[in-house]
Structure 1
Amino acid sequence: MPNAFYAIGEALIDFIPTERDQLLKDVNGFMPQVGGAPCNVAAAVQKLTGRSHLVTQLGQDAFGDRIVETLAELGVNTQWIERTTAANTALAFVSLTASGERDFSFYRKPSADMLYDSAHIQRLPLASGDMIHFCSVALVDSPMKEAHEALLAKAHEVGATVVFDPNVRLPLWDDYQAYQQTIQAFIPHADIVKVSDEELGFITQIEEEQQALQSLFQGRVKAVIYTQGGDGASLIFADGTTYTACPTAVDVVDTTGAGDAFIGAVIAELMQSVEPIETLKKEGQAILTFANQVAGHVVQQYGALTSLPTREILDNNV
């Protein structure tokens, strides 16, 4: 049976502004787009490779219906998406600067995904060749955090490969120290950690870049992917082996989902391998280049999901 990919965490509706370079309070119109980092990654993997599943919970509401229908149209397996009347589907309102950077306001106190019951994890048919992806947004103290812990324990038991992209969202945490400590506690449970230049200092509390990156090699961590926006990305191993790749300059419209598309592209490449970490060691340069190509395509359009390319689209744009 082919390897499968499972992304766990939040799925929500991003309300993207119809006007740029405005503070969020001054935006007069929004376009609803399906989003949430795990959701974006699941969609990216599906469009590039297939066999992608999203593990989450949505409200029994119109926004939840929209997410399920959108993912189903993309081919993402939605059978592990639970529905509840106890809370609504999460929403995020976004403002964009002239350069495409974002500011967020989240509505999830709590949202349906936060109430996901860890008992559902036992039903997942996880196998040794599968890959898992998670972020930090859903790691607030909640049933969903317990579900993450249950899934990671199951992944370790069967030998699945775990990818952790903290995807730091400070507005969702009242206590930044607790947030930093939570991320640090989950890092050792991942085989691959992705971190951006904007997040590195916060996560590690270390100013010197190389020292901060090396500090991420804890527990099971075998590889660190370090992204620096337009300056490219690096793939670093504990023994010091490093690959780097710089993206082609493009006209940036919206950076929403670019990091998710990047790590989704990395995962899609590794999904085709029996030994993902060994493949990453041997083909790191090519994998980073491909991931930059995917992210570069995404930032030229609005919306995290609608801008995701297929391999055919990427081949035609070369």
Structure 2
Amino acid sequence: MAVNVTLGNGENPRYDITTFGEILIDFTSQGLNEDGQMIFARNPGGAPANVAVAAGKLGARTAFMGKAGKDMHGEFLRSVLNKEQVNTQGLILDEKYFTTLAFVNINEAGERTFSFARKPGADTRIEKEELSVDVLDYTNIFHVGSLSLTDQPARDTTFYAVKRAKSNGSIISYDPNYRASLWENEETAKHHMRSLIPHVDIMKISDEEVELLTDCKNVQDGAKELCRQGVKIAAVTLGSQGAYIHCKEGGCIVPGFASHVVDTNGAGDSFWGGFLYKVSTSGKRPDELSLETLAEYVRFGNAVASLCVEGRGAIPAMPDLLQVEKRLSL
């Protein structure tokens, strides 16, 4: 059932950014114990949840919508979001399904490989009738990923939520966040991940996802192709090199910040949380923002990401506004 909650004066709260999709546990490798066995640390994760926390830590009013299991992990995830002051009215804990788990191995360069326990995970079982409409209908930016497109009923629920939010004036944000092991094959992934693009206002992809999402070989052409399909702002993350941003005025690369990389988990999510935070504070629609302004927002996002990768885990490593401002001043 959809939940209706209002403020004491009878008005609905308005959120700067609401994110929808997977919330899960990242069991992140911590090296080997004295017996040579891998040690894993439990970290809260899931790209949409990471984005909500990243933006919230910077000062945005954020909410998360999705489903986890009513188990020790789901309870833990809800407590983490509450602690980070992300509204959890739209987070459902379901007794019938287990919280999705992701086992993450990190190499010496800080790069990750994933193994998922999700057959099915609770995040894939969310129905449109379960959505909290008083969150969905009152958000300035509505952000989704592509992991909610891998299975039904979450796929149909994602499209329903995006269309409803857009009809209510929300800016739609999308980060495909490709995870090959969660799809039947690459062609299926392409089909479903691309199907959401016509509904999107702002989109982020990594340089590794450019060809998958656009058939283009280079970053500039890929971003231009996304905008040709209706996206107003396209950003392509370039790892330590920063990010490329494209809008109707053209595009440019915005360099990253030097940082001591410990763990890249959550790097792209922290970047996007920072970027969306800046968009939310502008009070403007995406097509009203100049390339110069967007480049400033990308630089801000780069600073957020450069701090995130210096800590372990995604959510625990998200910086606050004071830390980001200090990094920007260097």
Normalization by structure 1: what TM-score? 0.93
Q: Secondary structure at the match of 1:44?
A: helix
2:47 is the alignment partner of 1:65: no
- Structure 2 counterpart of 1:86, which letter? K
Provide the residue aligned with 1:23 in structure 2: none
SS of equivalent to 1:183: helix
Q: Deviations over 1:26-77 (max 9, x none)?
A: 8611000000100100101111123111100111100001100011001000
Q: Deviations over 1:84-142 (max 9, x none)?
A: 11110010001111010000000111011111111133623445761011111110131
List runs of 5+ in structure 2 lacking aligned partners.
1-12
What is the count of residue pairs matched by the alignment?
312
* CA apart distance, 1:213: 2.6
User: Pick from 127, 132, 135: which aligns with 2:142?
Assistant: 132
Identity, in percent, stands at 31
Contact 1:188–1:218 (8 Å) recurs in 2: no
Provide structure 1 residue ranges, at least 5 long, that are not aligned to the other structure: 21-25
Cα distance change, pair 137–129 in 1 and its aligned pair in 2 (3 A)? closer
> Which of 301, 319, 325 is equivalent to 1:315?
325
Residue equivalent to 2:28: 16
Question: Does 2:186 correspond to 1:161?
Answer: no
The AA in structure 1 aligned to 2:86 is V
Instruction: Provide the C-alpha distance between the structure 1 equivalents of 2:137 and 2:103, rounded to a whole number of angstroms.
Output: 37
Amino acid at match of 2:238: Q
Cα shift at 1:283: 1.2
- Quote the offset at 1:256 in angstroms: 0.2
Structure 2: distance between partners of 1:182 and 1:280:
31
CA distance in 2, matches of 1:203, 1:111: 25
The answer to whether the Cα contact below 8 Å between 1:187 and 1:218 also exists between their aligned partners in 2 is no
1:234-253 equivalence runs, <5 A: 234-237=244-247, 239-253=248-262
Counterpart residue type for residue 253 of structure 1: V
Q: Which moved more, 1:183-192 or 1:218-227?
A: 218-227
SS of corresponding position for 1:58: strand
SS in 2 for 1:81: strand
Mapped to 1, the partners of 2:102 and 2:31 lie a distance apart of: 16
User: Which residue identity lines up with residue 140 of structure 2 in the other structure?
Assistant: D
Q: Distance in 1 between matches of 2:299 and 2:172?
A: 22
1:54 aligns with 2:48: no
Deviation at 1:316, TM superposition (A): 4.2
Maintained 8 Å contact 2:251/2:291: no
Aligned to 1:216: 226
Q: Which residue of 1 aligns with 2:198?
A: 188
Take 1:27 and 1:298, find their aligned partners in 2: how far apart are those partners?
27
Output the CA distance in 2 between the equivalents of 1:178 and 1:132: 25
Name the amino acid aligned to 1:173. Answer: W
CA–CA separation in structure 1 for the residues paired with 2:129 and 2:205: 30
* Cα distance change of structure 1 residues 31 and 70 upon mapping to structure 2, 3 Å threshold: same
Matched, 1:147 2:157: yes
Give the superposition deviation at 1:310.
Answer: 0.7
Deviations 1:159-213 (A, max 9, x none): 2101111111111112210101111111111101111111111222332443333
Q: Report the alpha carbon displacement of residue 273 of structure 1 after superposing the two structures with TM.
A: 2.4
Alpha-carbon separation, structure 2, partners of 1:276 and 1:297? 28
Distance of 2:315 and 2:113 partners within structure 1: 19
Paired position in structure 2 for 1:113: 123
Letter in 2 for 1:54: F
- The amino acid that maps onto 1:6 is T
Measure how far apart 1:313 and its partner are: 2.3
Pair 1:271 & 2:280 matched: yes
Cα offset, 1:276, TM superposition:
3.7
* 2:214 paired with 1:204: yes
